[in-house]
Structure 1
Amino acid sequence: MPETILELQNVQTHFPIKDGFLFKHTVGTVKAVDGVNLTVEQGEVLGLVGESGCGKSTLARTIMQLVPTTGGTVILEGRNLTSSSDSDVLSIRRDLQMVFQDPYASLNPRATVFATLAEPLLVHKVCTQSEVVERVTELMITVGLAPRFMQKYPHEFSGGQRQRIAIARALALRPKVIIADEPVSALDVSIQAQILNLLAELVRKMGLSLVFIAHDLSVVKHISDRVAVMYLGKIVEIGTAEEVIDAPAHPYTRALVSAIPTPNPDEERSRKRIVLPGDPPSPINPPSGCTFHPRCPHATDVCKSTPPQLEAFKGREVSCFRKDEI
């Protein structure tokens, strides 16, 4: 059986809303992530999808401990990140790295590619000063960049090249898990394919585990082994990519899948799109019961009063009371 390398147990990330001029007091709470349970296996690609504002990026930053957890635990190879000291988290980050959505914003514009890639090697004492040039050269070749560009600055590269630099930085410490937060959404379609193929190749060759966050379900299906669907801070469905995308069980997942465009014009014209009414509720005051019930065409009274739990259903897990009927 595959070994679980990353585990999230009832992870919550809430942000207090403060008011007042001289004396601040809490007037509300943004429940960005509200009770997420997930596992990532060794060498697995887990896709995480959902609408903007559902909590995907906050969950990624919570796993990295860039934002503090309100509750629950994040466990990496038996090490509890949520109860570790700052120095322990720093050492654990050698095994847990992140690729951000916008490479231009995540790269230091005043640092050359060499300085960007050399910094983690020297901070974590992975190699000596004399070995840095060789390691940086190796990293650039790994992500498909010519080593002769190592003295250039981020603004001198295209968007796809900058994302390759960001991936090389994440690989510098030879991590076991990489979290990619929409790494291709800001790129042209042709460049997206190159970056996706690069990530898939790195997972295969290096045995990495990858948490891949995206909006495009067709992209997620292409690269992922399993897919988790997130809505308003909770996981509503999780299973293999084929199960979740080809035969979705949760009404929200069905709506997302129905929005995937098809390349065949005839099929595109004839396909039935599921349009959800209204907008996602505010995470400040989420609905009672199932948080999806105000937009669900199949909601009943029990959906409005009782929150459903993830339960096994046809080879995957689904959080819905009416999954057997729809």
Structure 2
Amino acid sequence: MPPILELRDVKTHFPVHQGFLVRRNAGAVKAVDGVNLALARGEVLGLVGESGCGKSTLARTIMQLVPTTDGAVILEGKNLTTGGADEIGAVRRDMQMVFQDPYASLNPRMTVHDTIAEPLLVHRVCAPAEVTPRVAELMTLVGLAPRFMQKYPHEFSGGQLQRIAIARALALNPKIIIADEPVSALDVSIQAQILNLLSQLVRKMNLSLIFIAHDLSVVKHISDRVAVMYLGKIVELGPAVDVIEHPRHPYTRALISAIPTPNPDVERARKRIVLPGDPPSPINPPRGCAFHPRCPHAQERCQAAVPPLEKLEAGDNREVACIRAEEIWQ
């Protein structure tokens, strides 16, 4: 079947201006710089990378919350980047987002009932008399008692607030959910509950999920495939187990080496890969491979051209953007 969502060379750049009286364009922050992805129906795609690599900007670009500089975001054959406001509003029912901080994403002056009911009323999904039973159904679906629907956000814990945010996202029966680090602000035990809830909802409602996170062990638990981002580009893409257990890109290896191991003996014997320096500025990225200033395997040819994201061998489900990946890890 064709993918439900496809990104074709998507770029999102933010202009940088200088001057006070006379403003001039001094360049652009290349937050997302040529991303190609496809999301299958019912698939969970994990998106990982360092802070500032462009994960959240890519999520907002898919939702068309920020304008696309170039490329195409195609949802079931419709190019969202060329559509008008009415067309984008019509497809918003099919894509919903769960944000990182539920305290900021929920209106403190609205009750839980009004928060979940708002999309139902705006999109006229059901008659006014059917709104309250539907809100109760959604609260039950995410593990909350309907008797709490008249309470306000400040009366709930962080985990409960994230469940409310998930219920609001599910109100319109979307086909795609984009979860932008939905468990990073929660305790570890609550993280497990939210992850299990998302996994159950994906199976029960046949949802496609883009799950953004820093913790690769969490991503491995929930994802079918993993995409690794660095400085606005995808540098490795493939099945979650393959990418986490047998990474091919040097940057992915460095990320995975930072995952702590619960066994103290294994942790002491493990060698951590510490990358030198800081990530380059997205305003002026390096020539060629953006990772080469920090890569322990970089050569002079790595500066010559941007490596394409491609399969290393025929029949491989993994794609890597590194010209030395095959010779280094063979």
Give the gaps of 5 or more residues in structure 1: none
CA-to-aligned-CA distance 1:168-206 (integer Å, 9 cap, x gap): 000000000000000000000000000000000000000
Q: Which whole-Å CA distance do the structure 2 matches of 1:188 and 1:105 have between them?
A: 18
CA-to-aligned-CA distance 1:212-263 (integer Å, 9 cap, x gap): 0000000000000000000000000000001100000000001011111111
Selected match of 2:318 from 310, 316, 319: 316
Q: Which whole-Å CA distance do the structure 2 matches of 1:136 and 1:95 have between them?
A: 19
Q: Which whole-Å CA distance do the structure 1 matches of 2:79 and 2:112 have between them?
A: 33
CA-to-aligned-CA distance 1:70-115 (integer Å, 9 cap, x gap): 0000001111111111111111000000000000100001100000
Q: Which residue of 2 aligns with 1:235?
A: 234
Following TM superposition, by how much is the alpha carbon of 1:19 offset from its aligned partner in structure 2, in angstroms? 1.6
Q: Which residue of 2 aligns with 1:212?
A: 211
Q: Which amino acid aligns with 2:48?
A: V
Following TM superposition, by how much is the alpha carbon of 1:23 offset from its aligned partner in structure 2, in angstroms? 2.7
Q: Which amino acid aligns with 1:70?
A: T
Following TM superposition, by how much is the alpha carbon of 1:3 offset from its aligned partner in structure 2, in angstroms? 3.6
Following TM superposition, by how much is the alpha carbon of 1:311 offset from its aligned partner in structure 2, in angstroms? 1.0
1:76-225 mapped onto 2 (5 Å cutoff):
76-225=75-224
Q: Which whole-Å CA distance do the structure 2 matches of 1:278 and 1:209 have between them?
A: 37
Following TM superposition, by how much is the alpha carbon of 1:157 offset from its aligned partner in structure 2, in angstroms? 0.3
Q: Which residue of 2 aligns with 1:73?
A: 72
CA-to-aligned-CA distance 1:281-319 (integer Å, 9 cap, x gap): 010110000000000011111101211001112430000
Q: Which amino acid aligns with 2:27?
A: G
**What is the identity percentage for the equivalent residue pairs of Structure 1 and Structure 2?**
75
Q: Which whole-Å CA distance do the structure 2 matches of 1:315 and 1:89 have between them?
A: 33
2:308 alignment partner, SS class: coil
Q: Which amino acid aligns with 1:149?
A: F
Q: Which amino acid aligns with 1:173?
A: L
Q: Indicate the RMSD between aligned Cα atoms, in angstroms.
A: 0.7
1:27 alignment partner, SS class: strand
Q: How many pairs were matched up?
A: 325
2:293 alignment partner, SS class: helix
Give the gaps of 5 or more residues in structure 2: none
Q: Which amino acid aligns with 1:30?
A: V
CA-to-aligned-CA distance 1:118-166 (integer Å, 9 cap, x gap): 1100100000100000100000000000000000111110000000000
Q: Which whole-Å CA distance do the structure 2 matches of 1:3 and 1:263 have between them?
A: 41
1:254-293 mapped onto 2 (5 Å cutoff):
254-293=253-292
CA-to-aligned-CA distance 1:18-44 (integer Å, 9 cap, x gap): 122223211121000000000000000
Q: Which amino acid aligns with 1:181?
A: D
Q: Which residue of 2 aligns with 1:39?
A: 38
1:16-55 mapped onto 2 (5 Å cutoff):
16-55=15-54
TM-score (norm: length of structure 2): 0.98
Q: Which whole-Å CA distance do the structure 1 matches of 2:75 and 2:142 have between them?
A: 26
2:169 alignment partner, SS class: helix
Segment drifting more, 297-306 vs 32-41: 297-306
Q: Which whole-Å CA distance do the structure 2 matches of 1:80 and 1:64 have between them?
A: 12
Q: Which whole-Å CA distance do the structure 2 matches of 1:244 and 1:168 have between them?
A: 31
Segment drifting more, 297-306 vs 186-195: 297-306
Q: Which amino acid aligns with 2:173?
A: R
Q: Which amino acid aligns with 2:34?
A: G
Q: Which whole-Å CA distance do the structure 2 matches of 1:89 and 1:128 have between them?
A: 23
Q: Which amino acid aligns with 1:177?
A: I
Q: Which amino acid aligns with 1:316?
A: R
Q: Which whole-Å CA distance do the structure 2 matches of 1:4 and 1:84 have between them?
A: 19
Q: Which whole-Å CA distance do the structure 2 matches of 1:153 and 1:87 have between them?
A: 32
Q: Which whole-Å CA distance do the structure 2 matches of 1:315 and 1:94 have between them?
A: 32
1:9 alignment partner, SS class: strand
2:248 alignment partner, SS class: coil
1:222 alignment partner, SS class: helix
Q: Which amino acid aligns with 2:288?
A: G
Runs of 4+ in 1 over 2 A off after TM superposition: none
Q: Which amino acid aligns with 2:42?
A: G
